[in-house]
Structure 1
Amino acid sequence: MTITWLGHACFRLEQGGFSIITDPYEGVAGYPDVRAEANAVYCSHGHHDHNYTAGVTLLPEGENPFTVTEVSSFHDEKGGALRGSNTIRVFEADGVRVCHLGDLGHLLSAEQVSAIGAVDVLLVPVGGVYTVGPEEAKAVARQISPRCTVPMHYRHAPYGLPNVGGVERFLELFCGGEVTTLPGASFTVTPELRGIVVPTYRG
Structure 2
Amino acid sequence: MTITWQGHSCFLLEQDGFRIVTDPYTGVPGYPPLELEAHEVYCSHGHFDHNYTDAVRLLPKADSPFTVEEVDSFHDEKAGALRGGNTIRVFSAGGVRVCHLGDLGHPLSKQQLAAIGKCDVALVPVGGTYTVDAAGAKAVCDGLNPRCVVPMHYRHVPYGLETVTGVEDFLRLWPSAAVQRLPGNSFTYLPKEGGGECAPAVLVLKYPV
Asked if TM exceeds 0.5, the reply is yes
Compute the displacement of 1:93 (Å). Answer: 0.2
Compute the displacement of 1:202 (Å). Answer: 1.9
Deviations 1:17-39 (A, max 9, x none): 00000000000000012110001
Q: Which runs of 5+ in 1 are unaligned?
A: none
Deviations 1:34-81 (A, max 9, x none): 110001000000000000000000001211000000000000000000
State the partner residue of 2:108. Answer: 108
Q: Does 1:198 align with 2:200?
A: no
SS at match of 2:140: helix
Question: Which TM-score applies when normalising by structure 1?
Answer: 0.98
Deviations 1:165-192 (A, max 9, x none): 0000000111110000000000000339
Mapped to 2, the partners of 1:81 and 1:61 lie a distance apart of 38
Aligned identity (percent) is 64
**What is the identity, as a one-letter code, of the residue corresponding to 1:158?**
P
Mapped to 1, the partners of 2:208 and 2:61 lie a distance apart of 27
Aligned-residue Cα RMSD (Å) equals: 1.2
Deviations 1:93-144 (A, max 9, x none): 0110000000000000111000000100000000000000000000000111
Question: Which TM-score applies when normalising by structure 2?
Answer: 0.95
Please list, as runs of the form range in 1=range in 2, the aligned pairs for 1:5-154 lying within 5 A after superposition: 5-154=5-154
SS at match of 2:6: strand
Detail structure 1 runs of 4+ shifted over 3 Å in the superposition: 191-194
Q: Which runs of 5+ in 2 are unaligned?
A: none
Aligned residues: 203
